[in-house]
Structure formats: structure tokens, C-alpha cells
Structure 1
Amino acid sequence: MAATRPGTAIVLAAVICNGLEFFDFVAYAFFAQTIGKVFFPGAGSALALLLAVGVFGVGFIARPLGSIVIGRYADRAGRRPALLLSAVLMTLSTVALMLTPGYASIGLYAPLLITLCRLVQGFALGGETGPATAFLLESAPPHQRATYVALQMGSQGIATALAGGLGMGLALSLSAAQMQDWGWRVPFAISTLLIPVALYLRFQMPETLPSQAGAASAATHHAGRLLWRSQHVVLGILVIAGGTVSTYIGSYMTTYGATVLHLPPADALQTAIATGLTMLAGALLGGHLADRYGRWPLMFWPRLATALVCLPMFSWLIAHPHAMALQLISATLALLTALTAGAVLTTICELFPATQRAAALALIYSVGVSLFGGSAQFVVTWLIALTGDPMAPAWCIAATSIAALVATWRLPETGRSQLTTSANSTR
């Protein structure tokens, strides 16, 4: 199994596939209010929303398991077969979610089935991040590693903008009854139609895992033991937490705008478009700057800015609850988070050798996202319902940003390092 450096078209194909998988995952968040009414009709509106975002969070429970299983598979068998496995699992769960009848048709089986679908989606996405990021890193010239890795966050930005644009179009063209009957299924149906293209692109991807790394099963086993002892795992999880809470509260802002600020659904969904496009621009700029000036400044300064501005921004939004304010704040949070993305993911990858790389990043990323990002929407919704304080999102962002800053201070600069193959090379 010889490792090759893919061309630009293959790298873009990998990014497109990652974006499609993220589209499937985030589309649920944008339609949480409607999904709550379809699958939890007996609950009040606040409880139905809480249950719907709770099911969204359930998908994160399976992400660490997916990261371990598929990440280890990627470090043994290669990046390509692991990414194919992730795509197939996401395909099956998305089709099942699209076809699941509502509570009115099959009763309690309906919420149970969508919970199962979310678990499989979470397992698949948990296994996607490590192999996909390792593929981009190993495909890049040495002086452009952060730029290539930042394409992953860029693809998530495109997916967010497309999901928000589609949601806005549906909100403007369908009645509330039509949206509840079938409109919320449209994003998953469109994704299903694009799945054959995604699978074809995955089949065309070359392998980037060095053959000596993939063949060294004993080294991989040793790598697993080293991985669990590494302080970089804990630090990486905390750094990821700062970004993922901002990201998933950002995707929650469409629901926040509609339920807390009482903005029209179409106005709230415009926020997703602004957020997604800002994520794309910020990720590409941040990756370029991290390659030029180093990883550490791009991990630290945007996160510090997030901690400083989130509280006054939300105070201003609550005092002036209109669509432009919501879009401006969401875009600002997305920009600051996206600026750090390439540097953070590249640093974590560069800290580990090829025999650990996919599994290490997948584990760190999925645990950080599951513990903090996966619970963010549920915690914020619960806090607002419990206290009536609309500032809850800002307090969550500020707290996790401070924790991420402390962890970042402990991480080394890896921008001038060479990628390693042996597990004995762990920094």
C-alpha cells in the first residue's frame, strides 16, 4: 500500500464528501423546532424543542466510539477504506431518518427510530474527522499543511450555508403545516440524491497512509497505549471544546432567533447562510496565516477575542433583537472560531505519528465535540427554560473559551515540525 500525494481535484473531492456528511448532521439542528413537533407532539412547545435538541445531542454520544473504531481502522487499513465506511454509515442513517414516520403514524417507535438514526450518524461522523483530516494533512506540501487541513472547516461552512439557504427557501415557500408534514425531510432527500456522487469520489481517492505505518500492527497497538497516556489528549480536548461550543451554539442561533428573540423563521435561517460563508472565509484565511506565522498565534488570539466579546455582543443582541444583529453576532463567532480551525486540527495531527494520527485526532475531536458541543444546545435550551436568562449562550461560550486558552498555552508550536511515522516519535 504505497502512499501517494493526491492532486488538487482529489483533495477537493475529499472536502466535498466531508461537507456532504456535515450537511446531513447539521440539517437536523436547523429543523429542530419542526422535528420536535413531528416526533414529540404531546409535549409543550418548550419541552418538544428540548427533546428535539436532546436527540440532536444523542448523536454525539456515539462519536467517541466511532472515532476509536474507524480511527484505528484508518491507521491500520488506510485512510480511504475508513472514509468509505464512514460515508456508507452516514448514507444508511440519513436515508432512514428521512423515511421515518412521525409520532402520529407509529407512536413511540418514531422518536426511538430517529434516536437510533442519530446514533449511527454520530458514529459515522466521529470516524470521519480523523481519517479525513489525516488525508488532507498527508496530501499537503510541507508549507501548506494548515491550509489544506482548514479546507475541512471550509467544507463545513459551505454545508452550513447550503443547509441554511435551503431551510430559508422552504420557510418562505411552505406553510407551517407543509413544513411539518414533509418540508423538513427535503434536506435529507437532497442529500440522499447526492450520495452516489460522494461514494464515487471516495472510491477514486488514493491512499496517503505510508505503507510501513499501515503494516506495523504491533506499532499501532503500542501507539494506542501511548495515545491514552499522552497529556496532549487532554489539552487537545480542551482546545477543541472552545471551538465546538461556539460552532454548535452558532448553529443553534437559528432556533434561538425564532424561539427566544421571536424572529420570523426565514430571518433566523438567514443567519445560517451568513455563518456558513464566514466559516468558509475564516477557515481559508486562518489556515494560510497558520502556515505563514505559526500555529500557536492562530489558536490563541482569536480564542481570546471570543472570550472578550461574546458577553457584550449577546447583551447588545438581546437589547436589539433584529435579524441583522443576529447575523452579525453569529458571523463574528463563526469567523473567530474558523480562524483557529486549521491551526488547531493541524497541531493535533502534527503531535502524533502516522500510526496514531487518525485515531488520535478522531478521539480528541469526538470527545471534545461530544462532551461540549453535543451538550451545548441542550444545556443552553435548558438554562434558558430554567432561568429565563437569554444570556446563557454567552456564558457557555466564555467559559469554554477560557478553558481553551489555558490549554493552548501548554501546547507547543508545531509549524516547523516534520511529519513522523513511528509511534516512538510522539512528541
Structure 2
Amino acid sequence: MLRQRLEHRQVYAGAVGNVLEWYDFAVYGFLAPLIGKVFFPSDDPVASLLAAYGAMAAGYFSRPLGSVLFGHLGDRIGRKPALILSMAMMGGATLGIAVLPGHAELGAGAAVLLLLLRCLQGVSVAGEYGTSAILLVEQAPANRRGLVGGWVMAACNLGFLLGSGVGALVSSVLGEAAMAAWGWRIPFFLGAVIAVHVLAMRRSLAESPLPAERKAALPVVEALRHHYRAIGLIVCLVLPVAVTFYMCFVYASSYLVERMHLSTAQALDITTLALALQVVVAPWAGHLADRYGRRPLMLLVTVAGLITTWPLWWAMHQPGIALVVFAQMSFALINGVGWSLTIPVMVELVPAHVRVSASGIAYNLCLGLFGGTAPWVATYLVARTADDFAPAWYMMAVALVALLAALRMPEMAGRPLER
């Protein structure tokens, strides 16, 4: 009983950081219109919003730097120190945004400082997700690595939910005027408080034993030179879930409002339900991966993506809201299972001495090049082809790539990790 309690505490301390990381990203996205007016004032409100989203994008562009930095720290010094540093960086950056004076006080310097803080958050996120997943999965029993990875994924989705929920709650309580003046800072202050709690919890984290021989002075170089096949395989496996997530929860939300004439509240409610479903699905999918194997479930998910994407996209274009909800929930179910499977796979395909570096490069490369750009690609394809189903063909194409990768993926469920 004591051992089980300690194991649960370890999983909580490792995974809860992802709640904060993605909470902060969700809060910024939710409050971007207000932040744009404070730091990027303009006569054109669209220009202010675009500038605020530009600062948000800077967080994604800085993620490769984070994967290199935390990959080196995690592989050379240890997973635990890297996780403590990532949380300290995120908490400090979040507090910085909460107290940062706006354009009225600092002029253009306010925008520059906001951009730097967003980059710091992006670097931190790059280190948090992969490193926490690796530390927890490495220490999990062989027959529970998928389940533990599922809890990490659930924490990420919970962070998104918490971020949008806190933003909406504070906005409804304070009203538009107070929210625009100072209320937007409250969710960021709350994020800084959460960071203090996570740092306190992480003092008790158990460290994964590092390999006795760490030959590579630069694990990132070692990973790229000798493990590029594993990196490429991970990129291909993560590709469909990354593209589908941003396509369905970012692009589709605005598309439903602009083209299908749903209200903003309806679109947000549907997205919230879909994210909540992914929180529930993630641990369940991890458990199934432990019982039946990674490869069969990965094949099932990619085939499901190929077969169902077109009809589900069709359902989203129907006038009845029930069909739209069904389509979004179906996408969330497939996507949640796929995300959960990628976590143990990232750990199991790479040797321990370059595990953080190789997994971080693969994950952040995929998210940066394909996930974060998916809404832009979808908008471009629809504009160029005049085909509203162009995004569906794109999602089916990346599902096919993942299917081919899954056919080449070795089965690692239940096997000892390479130490």
C-alpha cells in the first residue's frame, strides 16, 4: 500500500507540471485579444490581435531550442534537475507576464519583453513534456508504462481545460471593462502560484538512474548522428495526432463560427467537451496499450484516421449541431488514443543515454513544423483549391504516413527498457 501511494505521488509530481505548462499556453490564447490591446495597441483591432498571436507563435518557434537545452540537461545531468528548471522557467515567465507593464508605460519595450517571456515559456514547454514523460515511463513497471504515459497526456488536456475555464470564469465575474483593464492578469498570477506548488512537489521526485557510461559530450549530436531512424519514426507516428489536434481544436473552432454560423459559445462548448473526452480516454488507452501492445493499437488508430476522417469532416459541415458534436467527439476519441500511444513509444524506441534529446527533437520538430502550422495549411489549402474538404485530405495523408511507420515499428510493450 505504501509503495502504491509513493508511486501515485511520483506520477502526480511528474505529470502535474504539464497541467501548468498547457494551462499557461491556453490562457494566453484565450486572452490574446485583450493582451493585443495592452501590448500592441493599434487603430486596427485585427492588427493588434495578429501581433498578439505572433507573440504566441514565438513560443512555438522557440521549442526546438528548448528540446536541445533540456535534452542535454536531461541526458547529461539528470531528468529531475531538468524538470525543476523547466518549471522554474515557466513559473518565472508566467509571473513576468502577470506584472509586465503595458505599452502605455513602457512603449515598444513592453512588446519586446512580452515576446521574450513567451519565448521563455516555449523553451520551458519543450523541456517539460518530453522529460516528465520519460522520467515517469522509465520508472514505471514494464506492464504499466502505457498507463503512466496516458496520465501524462491526460494532464496536458486538463491544462488546456483549466486554462480556458479560468479565463472564462474570471471574465464573466469581472466584466469586460475590468477584464480589459487588469483582470486579464489574474489567470497568470494563478499560474505562478501553481508553479510554486509543482516545484515543492518535485523536490520529492525520484531520479531515473543514468547510464554509467555517458559517452556523448553532446547528446543532441549523438542522437542526430546515430539514432536518426528512430527520430524519423517518432516524427511520423506523432504526425497525425499533432495535425488532427490543431486542425480540429484550433482551425475547426474558428471555421464553425465563420462558415457554419455556430455561435462562439457553441464552438467553445464543443471544444471543451472534446478535450474533456481526451482527458478520460488517455489513461484508458494507455492501459489497453499495455495489455494488447503498442503496434496493434497504433495500426488501429491510423487506419481509423484514414477511414473516418472524410465522413467526420462531412458531418461537421451539416446544419444539425448534433452531427457536429458527434464528429468532434469522434476526432477527440481517435486523437486521444493516438496521443497516449506516442508517449511510451518515444521512450521505448531510443536508448537511455540520448533518450531526452532524441525524443525532444522528434516531438518538437513534428509539433513545430506540422502541428502548429496545421491551421495555416488548412486555410491556405481551402483558399487555393476552393475545396472545404482539403483539410480532410491533408489529415488522411498524414495518417497514411503514420500507418506506414507503424508497420515498421517494433513492439516494445512489456519488454525491459534499454538502460
Q: TM-score with structure 2 length normalisation?
A: 0.87
Asked if 1:132 corresponds to 2:129, the answer is no
The percentage of counterpart residues that share the same residue type is: 32
Matches within 5 A, 1:387-402: 391=389, 393-402=391-400
How far off is 1:155 after superposition? 0.5
Letter in 2 for 1:409: L
Change (3 A) 1:126 1:226: closer
In the alignment, the residues of structure 2 paired with residue 259 and residue 24 of structure 1 have an alpha-carbon distance, to the nearest angstrom, of 26
Name the CA distance, whole Å, in 1 between partners of 2:407 and 2:47: 40
| C-alpha separation in 2, matches of 1:7 and 1:342 | 19
Matched residue, 2:222 = 225
Aligned to 1:320: 319
Please name the residue that 1:153 is paired with: 153
How far apart are the structure 2 equivalents of 1:53 and 1:409?
38
- 2:291 is aligned to 292
Partner of 1:302: 301
SS at match of 1:87: helix
313-322 or 363-372, larger mean C-alpha shift: 313-322
Match of 2:9 in 1: 9
Residues 65/181 of structure 1: CA separation in 2 closer, same or farther (3 Å cut) = same
Query: How many angstroms does 1:287 deviate by?
Result: 0.4
Q: Which residue of 2 aligns with 1:411?
A: 409
Q: Does 1:244 align with 2:239?
A: no
Query: In structure 1, what is the equivalent of residue 91 of structure 2?
Result: 91
Q: Superposed, which structure 2 residues align to 1:22-421 within 5 Å?
A: 22-42=22-42, 44=44, 48-103=48-103, 106-170=106-170, 172-173=172-173, 175-210=175-210, 213=211, 215-219=212-216, 221=218, 224-230=221-227, 231-252=229-250, 253-320=252-319, 322=321, 326-380=324-378, 391=389, 393-421=391-419
CA displacement 1:273-294 (0-9 Å, x = unmatched): 2122111122111101110111
Q: Partners of 1:275 and 1:140 in 2: how far apart?
A: 28
Q: How far apart, CA to CA, are the structure 2 residues paired with 1:66 and 1:355?
A: 18
Q: Aligned equivalents of 1:53 and 1:385: distance in 2?
A: 21
Q: Deviations for 1:350-401, whole angstroms, at most 9, x for unmatched residues?
A: 1122111122211111111111122223444566677776656544433332
Q: State the alpha-carbon separation in 2 of the partners of residues 23 and 365 from structure 1.
A: 19
Inter-partner Cα distance in structure 2 for 1:289 and 1:145: 11
Cα distance between partner residues in 2 of 1:65 and 1:246: 24
Greater Cα offset, 199-208 or 332-341: 332-341
Greater Cα offset, 407-416 or 80-89: 407-416
CA distance in 1: counterparts of 2:13 and 2:254, whole angstroms = 32
Partners of 2:43 and 2:15 in 1: CA distance? 40
TM superposition score normalised by structure 1: 0.86
- How far is 1:416 from its partner? 3.8
Q: Identify unmatched segments of 5+ residues in structure 1.
A: 422-427
CA contact (8 A) 2:142 2:415 kept: no
Q: Is the 8 A contact 1:220 1:356 kept in 2?
A: no
Q: Is the 8 A contact 2:71 2:127 kept in 1?
A: yes
Kindly state the Cα deviation for residue 207 of structure 1 after the two structures are TM-superposed. Answer: 0.8
**Cα–Cα, structure 1 residues 222 and 124, in superposed 2: closer, same or farther, change >3 Å?**
closer
Q: Quick one: distance in 2 between partners of 1:373 and 1:194?
A: 27
The structure-2 alpha-carbon separation of the partners of 1:367 and 1:305, relative to structure 1 and needing over 3 Å to count, comes to same
Q: Are 1:168 and 1:265, in contact at CA under 8 Å, matched by a contact in 2?
A: no
Q: CA RMSD in A?
A: 2.9
1:144-173 per-residue CA deviation (whole Å, 9 max, x = no partner) reads: 111111111110121122223223334544
CA apart distance, 1:315 = 3.2
> In structure 2, do the counterparts of structure 1 residues 260 and 192 end up closer, same or farther at CA, with 3 Å as the change threshold?
farther
What is the CA-CA distance between 1:183 and the residue it aligns to?
Answer: 4.2
Q: Which amino acid aligns with 1:415?
A: A
The question of whether the paired residues in 2 share the 8 Å contact of 1:57 and 1:375 is answered with no
Structure 2: give runs of 5+ residues left out of the alignment. none
- Alpha-carbon contact 1:242-1:397 (below 8 Å) kept: yes
Instruction: Output the CA distance in 2 between the equivalents of 1:309 and 1:174.
Output: 43
- Count the aligned residue pairs: 413
Distance 1:173 1:258, change over 3 A: farther
Which amino acid letter does the alignment assign opposite residue 83 of structure 2? Answer: L
Cα contact 1:68–1:362 (8 A) shared by 2: yes
Structure 1 residues 223, 156: CA separation in 2 closer, same or farther (over 3 Å shift)?
Answer: closer
Partner residue, 1:425 = none
- State the shift of 1:41 in Å: 4.4
Q: CA deviation at 1:38?
A: 4.5
Q: Counterpart of 1:31 in 2: which secondary structure?
A: helix
With over 3 angstroms needed to count, the CA separation of the structure-2 counterparts of 1:298 and 1:218, relative to structure 1, is same
Q: Is the 8 A contact 1:158 1:277 kept in 2?
A: yes
Quote how far apart the aligned CAs of 1:54 are: 3.5
Given that 1:258 and 1:268 are in contact with CA atoms closer than 8 Å, whether structure 2 keeps it comes out as: yes
